[in-house]
Structure 1
Amino acid sequence: MLDRLWQKLRGQTRTTQSPIAATRPEEAPLAAEPAPQITRDAYIQSPLPIAEELAQLFQLDAPLVIFDIGSCEGEDSIRYARSFPNSRIYAFEPLPANMATLKRQVAAYGATQVEAFPIALSDERGTATFYVSSGAPEHLPNNENWDYGNKSSSLLPPGEVTDHHPWLKFDQAIEVKTDTLANFCDARGIDHIDLIHMDVQGAELKVLLGAGALLQQVKAIWLEIENVPLYEGQPLAPEMQAFMESQGFVKHKDTVSEISGDHLYVRKDPAA
């Protein structure tokens, strides 16, 4: 989420032509002046970066099943709840402090469609070490409206992420409960997922492998992708794209810069 925010704050994005929606013009390059302070409400009120694509894929009043994996403080879950009022949103966040904020924000915005789970989805059930991030840029201090440092925690040890964001710290590691998408959905009778929003700091492939055969019942996935190993052992953009294509997905949007960004993948036959 951190690099996604940096692109938003700096006004930098890059897209490839999508058969779902026309590509937006390339925005301004990296600004020389410091990025402005962001607030939680401003982020929640801002348009979804894939709003046009989602409007082509789904009816706005459809009873969608949406998974927000790596929900952090729940802002994106709330945005999806506002965009798709009849949806059912499952939010996953293993960091206790983030989960507490997530629950408060969901209640404050009346996002009753959101149900939160304090677990990390992965490729195995059990427990795992979770590397906790903290810190703030010198010109963007944390406050009650936004925490820059809590958005880079991962199941993977930090790699080059602190080279690109020297203010980030990883001074703590905790044990968290893990589950797989396949087991979680089987236990709750969930037989399909319309949209997965995934921001798990390099552990995306672990989550997808944990879906097993259920991955064939997912229509669209919007996930963070890296071109450099921000975390140890993470798969990079070419490997992730090859995996997604092997599973029957087509890339419809690409905002990945030299370092990081996002891909939108849609199943070849989303009506199936």
Structure 2
Amino acid sequence: MDLEQISRKSLFGQLLRLPLRLIPPEMTMPIWLGKLAGKKWIVGAGRNGCWLGTYEYDNQRVLEKTLKLGNTVFDIGAHAGFFTLLTSVLVGDKGKVFAFEPLPQNLGYLRKHLSINSITNATVMAAALSDRSGMASFRETSGSYQGGISSQGTLQVKMVSLDELIASGEIPVPDCIKIDVEGHEKFVLLGAKSLLESAHPTIFLSIHGRPVYEQCCQLLESLGYKIQVLDKPDGGELPKNLDLIASYPG
């Protein structure tokens, strides 16, 4: 059960969350469920579902079925590191994870989570990914796990593209890329176009907005990728925010 799927406005949701408010945000808790059970998580670093182990549970299951020992994974928009931890476990000691995150508060939590869990196969990249390199304005919203590149942002962050990083030899070619960047998904893909054309990594994509969904699908399909929407509703329109997996045939 994903706690975040239970409405905060419902009586059940309010009762369920009431005792969670008593936990100090700086407290470190063992993760309860899933592949990360027993790993440590700082309560105030993100949603309660993280330390409960239920955060985006369906996406956890898809990653578990897809990743293999020894894989190289890019976690783009790593936030406080929940999926960085998960993928580091799934790819094993011979695998590698590169976690990209521009927000200083998230970077602090991300590095702390890797440290307190003795993770040695993950590398933190303090940057936002886009279609070009330079500096960008970053907009912070409520909660450290949210935010995105915006002309209205007040925080200046380093911006890079995957193609440039790979061409420079700074990072290896990945087997899988997970992207959750609050509406900037198309630009991350554009900045990785050469990589997608040549290496065809599997892509897990969190989409924020129907226009972004259409733009990303058009780009990926033009490169030969097949798109599968996860948890697609039966009939009716697709939700505004959704997750998809893009894979290259063969």
Q: TM-score range by the shorter chain?
A: 0.7 to 0.9
Say whether residues 1:241 and 2:217 are aligned partners: yes
Residue equivalent to 1:98: 106
Say whether residues 1:254 and 2:230 are aligned partners: yes
Kindly state the Cα deviation for residue 65 of structure 1 after the two structures are TM-superposed: 1.0
Structure 1 SS opposite 2:187: helix
Kindly state the Cα deviation for residue 188 of structure 1 after the two structures are TM-superposed: 2.3
Q: Which has the higher contact order (CA 8 A, sep 6+)?
A: 1
Residue equivalent to 2:4: 9
Residue equivalent to 2:89: 82
Residue equivalent to 1:224: 206
Q: Distance in 2 between matches of 1:52 and 1:95?
A: 27
Q: Distance in 1 between matches of 2:49 and 2:61?
A: 21
TM-score by length of 2: 0.74
1:199 aligned residue (180, 191, 206): 180
Change (3 A) 1:82 1:46: farther
2:126 aligned residue (99, 115, 118): 118
Q: Tell me if structure 2 keeps the 8 A contact 1:44–1:75.
A: no
Q: Distance in 2 between matches of 1:190 and 1:118?
A: 13
Change (3 A) 1:125 1:11: same
Change (3 A) 1:42 1:237: same
Q: Tell me if structure 1 keeps the 8 A contact 2:74–2:176.
A: yes
1:156 aligned residue (137, 147, 150): 150
Alignment of 1:169-208 (within 5 A): 173-188=154-169, 190=171, 192-208=173-189
Change (3 A) 1:126 1:53: closer
Change (3 A) 1:11 1:64: farther
Q: Distance in 1 between matches of 2:60 and 2:220?
A: 18
Unaligned runs of 5+ in 1: 13-29, 135-148, 159-171, 229-234
Amino acid at match of 1:98: N
Structure 2 SS opposite 1:123: coil
Q: Tell me if structure 1 keeps the 8 A contact 2:149–2:184.
A: yes
Q: Distance in 2 between matches of 1:174 and 1:227?
A: 23
Which has the larger helix fraction?
Answer: 2
What does the per-residue CA deviation read over 1:61-117, in whole Å, with 9 as the maximum and x for residues that have no partner?
2x2110000101111100111122132000011011110110000111122111001
Amino acid at match of 1:103: R
What does the per-residue CA deviation read over 1:13-58, in whole Å, with 9 as the maximum and x for residues that have no partner?
xxxxxxxxxxxxxxxxx97732654153223898562535653x44
Q: Distance in 1 between matches of 2:156 and 2:170?
A: 28
Kindly state the Cα deviation for residue 212 of structure 1 after the two structures are TM-superposed: 2.8
Q: Distance in 1 between matches of 2:118 and 2:85?
A: 9
Q: What RMSD over aligned residues (CA atoms) do the two structures have, in Å?
A: 2.9
Identity across matched positions, percent: 23
Change (3 A) 1:111 1:199: same
Structure 2 SS opposite 1:193: coil
Q: Tell me if structure 1 keeps the 8 A contact 2:4–2:55.
A: no
Q: Distance in 2 between matches of 1:46 and 1:254?
A: 12
Q: Distance in 2 between matches of 1:83 and 1:48?
A: 15
1:72 aligned residue (67, 71, 79): 79
Q: Tell me if structure 1 keeps the 8 A contact 2:185–2:212.
A: no
